[in-house]
Each structure stands twice: as C-alpha cells, then as structure tokens.
Amino acid sequence: MSLLRNLASGIRTLFRKEQVDRELDEELRVYQEMAAEEKVKDGLSRKEAFRAVRLERGNLEVTKEIIRSGAWESFFETCWQDLRFAVRILRKSPGFTAVAVLTLALGIGANTAIFTLLHASLWTPLPVSDPKEIFHLMRSSSEGDFAGESGYSYPLFQQFSKTAAPWGEVFATEVVRPRKFGFNGVSDRRIAGEAVSGNFFSVLNVGPILGRVIEPQDDSVLGGNHIAVLNYAFWNRRFQADASILGKTILYDETPYTVAGVTRPGFFGIEPGESVDVWVPATAVAADRGWHPDPNINWLRLLVRLDRGVDPAQAQAIFEGAFRAHVADVLLPSASPRFQQMLIAQHITVRPAASGLATTGREYEKPLLVLFAVVAVVLLISCANIANLILARNSARHHEITVRLALGASRARVAWQLFTENLTLSLFGAFAGVLLSVWGTRVLVSLLPPPPVPTAFNLQPDIVVFTFTAAVAVATAVLFGLGPALRASREKPEMSLQGGRRVIASAWSGRLLLAGQLALSLPLLVGAGLFVETLRNLKSSDLGFHPENVVTFDLSYPKGTSQDRLRQACAEIKQRLESHLGVIVASYGSGVYGDGGWDGSVDVIGNPSPGKDNDVGLISAGPGFFEAVGLGLLQGRYPTSEDQADKPPVAVVNESFARHYFGSTSAIGQRIKLGFEPQITREIIGVVRDAKHYGVRARVWRMVYLPTLKDDTFFVRSTLSMQLLSGAIRADVAASDKILQIEELQPLEAVVNDMISQERLTALLSSAFGVLACLIAAIGLYGVVAYGVSRRRNEFGIRMALGAQRGDIRTLVLRQTLAVILCGVAIGIGGSLAVVLLLSSAINGMLFGIKPTDISLFVGATIFLVAIALLAAFLPARRASRVDPMVALRYE
C-alpha cells in the first residue's frame, strides 16, 4: 500500500513538477522567515537574521537540491538532464563524435550482423507448439554425422515409431529438394518440395488455413494417397490465395497430386532458411519411386517429439538398441564387408532440434562463431581506442570538470554525467550499427553459395537482436567510458584552478590501452593469415583435372524419355557445340566434382588375393569427357565413340586403382568385373591421373570410368566468353530436342569454388576484420602520439633551443612509442600462441595445408603490425621535429 502511494506521489511529482516545486519553495521560504523572525525578536537586524539562519540551518537552494534528490523520481530527471547536456556537448565537437560513433557503429554493427545470422539460422525456435520437445534422431558415425542428410529407410522409420510409441512420436521428412512442378499443363520453375510422414503436421501441431493437412491415415493408403499441401506463402505467391485450388491437380515431380489444403501462415517446415512450398505424403513418393519396402534405401530424416519428462539420453539408449537390432537382423546379412564395417560404426544420437535441423546454419556455424569472436575483439579494440580519445578529451576539459567540482557537484554526480555522455555515444553507435547490420547480414548471406533451394532466412532484426545490441552498447559504454569518467571525477579542484597549463600527470592508462590494442590485433592478424593461407592452399591444390575454361550444365527431360532419344540428343548437342569456332571439345558424363557418379564393388579377374575393401568410385564418361575436363592420360588411350558400339566393353581406371591392384605391372589389358553388372567383363584401356572428384579435402578414391553415350551433365571446354557460350548452348540444346531443358548452367570453376565457400567466407571476413582492427589500433596510436606531441611542443622548443637536432627529437618520440609498441606486440604474440594452442583442435578442421603454429605467419603478422604502428607513430614524430623553437616558446 505504502509502496503504491510512494509510486503515485513520485509520478505526480514527475508530471506536476512545477506545482510541486512551487509548494516546496513556499514551504521552505516560510520556514526561513519564521526562523528569521525569532532572530529579529532576539534583537538582530533582518539581514543579519537571515544570514544567521542560513548558517545554522543550511542554504535554502542546497536544501532544495537535497530534498529533491532524496526522492527516487529525481533519478530520471537527472538522467534526462544529463542526456540533454551530453547531446549538447557532443554536438560541440562533431569531429570527435563522428569518429567515435563511426568506430562504434562498425564494431557494434558487425557484432549485430553476425549475431542476427546465427540467431536466424541456429537459435530461433521453430514456429510450432513446444519446440523444445522436438529432437533430431541423427545417424552418425566416427566418420562424421549425417546431420540433415537422409539416413533412414522407410522400414527403419516404422521400427522406430513402434519403439518410441509409449513415450514419444517419431516423424519423418525427406531432404528438401527442388522438384519439378506443373499446373494446368504448364511446367514452371522448380519448387521446394518435401515428402513427409502422415503424422508430420499433427506432431508439430500445424493446422490448415484451408482444406486439410496431411493426416496419419494418408500413410495407410496402399500405393500412397496422392494429395499435396501448399505452404501459405507459396499459395499466395503462385495462386494469389485462390481458394478454388482445393481439389485441383498439380504435377509434383511429374506425378499428379490433388491439392488437399494450405497450411496456416508462418509455417515453413523444419529447416530454418529453407521455406518448403509443397508437402506430399512420403508413402506416395515412395510408391512412385518403388522405394517403399526396401530397407537399403535411406532417404528419410527422422525427428521425434518426446513426451514431457522423457530424458533424451534414455530415449537415445532405447533408439540405439532398436537400431542395433535392425542392423543385425535386416541390414548385416546382405551387406558387403566394407558396408558391414560402416554399419557397425554407426550410432543414433538424439540431438535437440527446437530450432529445426538447421543444416545450413550448422554448416556455417564454426566459421560464424570464429567470426563472432573476431568481431568481438574488433569491438574491444574500438573500445580501447575510444577510451583513449575520451581520456585525452577529458584532460582538455580538465578546467570545466574542476569548476563543476569546485561549485559543489559531488564526484559521483560528475562521474555519472561524464558516463552519460559516453553512454549516449555508445547508443548512437548502436543505432547506426543496427542500420549497418541490416545491410551487413544481407552481404553475409550473399557470400554464401546459392543452395539448391533458395534461402529464406528471416533476417529482420527482432526483439532478441535488439536486446543483444542494446546489451552490447551498454557493455561497450562501460568498457570505454566508466574508467575515464571515474578518473576525471577524481580531479583535485584546488590544484588546477590556480591557472596555467597543467603538465599531464601520467599517460600510463593511455599507453596501457595502446599496448592492449596492439596485443589484441595480433591474434586477429594471425588468424586471418591462417584462413587466407588455407584458402590459397585449397585454391592452388591440384584437383587432378582442370576446371578453367570449362562450362558445365545439366540436361533435364520428362520421365520416361527413351534412351535412344537421349543418346541421339547427346550426340547432336555435342556435334553442334563443337562446330562453333572457339569450342575445343564438348562432352558429357555423370559428373566430375562434388556429387555425380556412384560407387560399387569391383572384382579384378586373376587377382589372387582380393583385399577386404574392393569399393571403387564410378563415373560414366562420354566421348571426349577426359579432354573436356582436362583429366590427363598416363597410360593407354582414352575411350572413343566406337568403344560403345559392338566392341568388347572397356573401362578407364585412375592411378590409385592401377597401383593398388597391379603394382608395377601395367594395368592396360587387365580385366575387371563390377558389382552392379556381374555378367559383363571390361578391359582396362587407359590409366588417368588421380583426381579429387569428391572435394579438395577428400581423399582420392580408386576410380573406374565407364564409357557412355548419354548422360545428363555436359562439359564444354572453349575459349569463348561465358556469355557467348551460354547463348550458343541454349540455342543448340533447343535445336537438338524440344523436350530438353537446361539447368545449372555455370562455369565448372564456380562448382569447384562453391565447395570451398566456407573457407572463402572465413578468409575474406577474417582478413577484412584483421586489417580493420590494425587500422583502428594504428589510428589510436597516431592520435595518442600526436596529442602527446602537441602537449610537449613547449618542451621540444626548449630542447631545440638548447641544441637538440631535429633527428634527436624524432628519435625521442619514436623511442618512447616503440616501447609501447614492442610491449603490445610481445603480449600479442604470447596471447596468439595461447589462443592458437587452446583452439587448435577446433581450428585444425578449418585449416588446410598449414599448421596453426606456423612460425612464418607469426613473424609476418608481427612485422606487419610493427610496421603499421611505426608508420602511425612516425607522422607525429616528424611533426614534433619540425617544431620551430621560437614559435613554440612564444606560444606559452
């Protein structure tokens, strides 16, 4: 009750300030007069009486101030006053304010941008009820996890559903992929499609806004219930929210499905950043592809909603048990020895998926976290820099501060006011930073390679982001502003009011901050060096083939197109393309980098002791394939178009294959049988160089290349520009066969570069921020040295008048600065080593061809930093040496 009254009274005071003030004034005046009257009665004059009262009872104005500040609401008033004062002060020195706000905006903006991306891709809960209960069942092995990848067959899903039934519900989804989509006989662009189990929507508790969603009983229809559910956003975009779409037929993956409903707005699936357009039942898709009962086809991702109170670790143990049983009973009996080993090494991990599967986010989690740390350090350096600026400024405002102290302001009051100024700076910086970050996040996302399904991250800064930024701003203000504010409030008024220029007492804190800045910059430089070197090594590492000047594209055609027709089309496209001047060779194959190709077992005829591991990578190669991708021949010959006709089947193998099976004897003429075509024996006609088909970091596999006369991926080596060549390709493909469509037309180098996009992102941003950090530190150094020089003009003038040479002055300034620089760099080297050693296990996976403790890198970074720092110190030192003694001495 009394609290309420207190609150009400306080608020009344705030809003009726004038009246309350007037009342207080009057009350105190009455008080004073009454007291004075007593004195007059005692025989004092009126004037003397008032003076006596002031002495005895205290000054009226001071009393008022005491009473006002005794109430809580005065705090807000003071803050508001300070804020207005701070803005006024800051406006008086626009240069300082601009530099400080800009530095802070860069630092805070970069932090906000990376936080936004991490938040959007990894930390935002799914828009479903109780997302915390949802877990991902990850099938993992020591080789790496299958996170987000399809790891389960339909029978295993059914098994798991039964296992979990008493305490949770398992649901399944297919990997989201671009699917062909058609409506009213018109085939459009591909859409993001996802096949889901019947309970998908009911478990997530996502309902329809129109019609119905996929329901559990849709799974039980023999051959699959061919219905489709549209995403609300897709329905709006593609069908302008037309309700009559219900019951109509669409083509999904070239199969007719009936539209059954539209999901409620806001639901996009379980993968942040991937907005699914159409959902269809997994049973229907499985029936279309004939996959349903096969336990060896892994195409589903499994998730589970655990009942409240179920321990995920316990659930994991039970799933693991069910998995082991399934492996032993169903999978092992028919598995190859190598596959058996893989199966035994696999386990089930139950991982929280409240934010969804976050495949994209997880892929970039490590680089983003590293960058997060980097930008945090950059912000720290900015803080040190601004603290230094403020220290210098405060000593220039020395007079103002001491006057305030002399007039009776308490030290706490002065410190708080100065801190408010710094807080204001920081808030301005944060505001500009948020604006910057909106742009920054877009740039960050655009640096990621385009995924198969367009990313749809929600990058609008939300309340969480704003809270983060505000917290950062306040923390920043405390870091750079509290120290200087407290320091300034400890001034001794008596000393400085005596007038004259005060010799700066000690620049220790400034030097310490400088050394700290340099020390912090060094690890950033070393880190940037590591990532840049990694990228360089990756780029320059020999892939075995030559992607330069090669353009690649995929052919797509309706299901059921006859093999003959395709063969004819491939031959015709090849011929047409090669007829252009500038095209060196055009060919096709199953792929050359990343995906493409398949794998299987091989049997080398006459091999007396086949090892356990006879798995090989397989790639089909059209005529001219090797010449087109630039895969060099070591022995024998390339296959030609005649090899496919009536001749005995042939194959080309790579170096590793030849070395493994034939050692020093020639592989040419040897015969092999492949597991997937047991009735065919092939003769090896050529050996090509080892190529890294599966990524520059992956190990080289033993490869078998099979001649083919038709395939989907084309490779065109030419001297033409991309633009010219793509025009020719479009024309030639259209002229060859109307049913063909071109997809993913791009330079082969782009495909290669996409595989190292993570490394490129890390290298680019870490070096940009590393350089930025050095720059900020250098500017700080320059500022402090220049300020010191300007304050010591007098001293330099005297020194020169007494016979010091210009060079001596320069050396003096440089020597004093060098001590700071070397001190900072020494700490920095130690710090970098510590960081690198501490994080080596985490960083190692991100590096390629370089050790984290690479000595030349440390030396390089140190030299770079010292050079920049010396340059920053040299400019003011030179100015110091140019001081004219006459002018300097007269100045005082």
Residue numbers of the site for other proteins (CB under 8 A)?
A: 1-2, 5-6, 9-10, 23-24, 26-28, 30-35, 38, 56-58, 60, 62-63, 66-67, 70-71
Residue 368 beta carbon to other proteins: minimum distance, rounded to whole angstroms = 52
Nearer to other proteins, 72 or 598 (CB): 72
CA separation, residue 229 to residues 95, 171, 299, 303 (Å): 59, 17, 20, 20
Residue 404 beta carbon to other proteins: minimum distance, rounded to whole angstroms = 21
Coil vs helix vs strand at 705 = strand
Nearer to other proteins, 70 or 560 (CB): 70
Q: What is the DSSP string of 568-636?
A: HHHHHHHHHHHTSTTEEEEEEES-SSSS--EEEEEEETT-SS--S--EEEEEEE-TTHHHHHT--EEEE
Report which DSSP code applies to 673. E
Nearer to other proteins, 71 or 478 (CB): 71
Residue 26 beta carbon to other proteins: minimum distance, rounded to whole angstroms = 8
Nearer to other proteins, 66 or 243 (CB): 66
- The β-bridge partners of 435 are none
Nearer to other proteins, 67 or 165 (CB): 67
Dihedral angle, C-alpha 797, 802, 807, 808, nearest 10 ° = -100
Residue 766 beta carbon to other proteins: minimum distance, rounded to whole angstroms = 57
Task: Give dist(CA 759, CA 767) in Å, integer.
Answer: 12
- Count of alpha carbons within 13 angstroms of residue 747, beta-carbon side: 16
Residue 547, sorted as left (phi over 0), alpha (psi -120 to 50) or beta, turns out to be alpha
Nearer to other proteins, 56 or 564 (CB): 56
Residue 29 beta carbon to other proteins: minimum distance, rounded to whole angstroms = 10
Residue 68 beta carbon to other proteins: minimum distance, rounded to whole angstroms = 9
Q: At what angle do helices 508-540 and 757-791 cross, to 10 degrees?
A: 150
Nearer to other proteins, 10 or 127 (CB): 10
Nearer to other proteins, 30 or 634 (CB): 30
CA separation, residue 487 to residues 78, 390, 510, 781 (Å): 21, 11, 12, 21
Residue 266 beta carbon to other proteins: minimum distance, rounded to whole angstroms = 48
Residue 62 beta carbon to other proteins: minimum distance, rounded to whole angstroms = 7
Residue 416 beta carbon to other proteins: minimum distance, rounded to whole angstroms = 20
Record the tokens describing residue 241, joined without a space: 């929210």
Residue 75 beta carbon to other proteins: minimum distance, rounded to whole angstroms = 15
Task: Give dist(CA 423, CA 474) in Å, integer.
Answer: 7
Instruction: Please give the radius of gyration of the chain, using alpha carbons only, rounded to the nearest integer.
Output: 37
Residue 51 beta carbon to other proteins: minimum distance, rounded to whole angstroms = 15
Nearer to other proteins, 63 or 681 (CB): 63
Nearer to other proteins, 34 or 838 (CB): 34
Closest to 38 (Cα-Cα) out of 20, 52, 18: 52
Q: Find out whether 496 and 398 touch, Cβ atoms under 8 Å.
A: yes
- The β-bridge partners of 742 are 555
Nearer to other proteins, 6 or 341 (CB): 6
CA separation, residue 225 to residues 160, 255, 341 (Å): 22, 12, 38
Task: Give dist(CA 179, CA 716) in Å, integer.
Answer: 26
Task: Give dist(CA 646, CA 381) in Å, integer.
Answer: 73
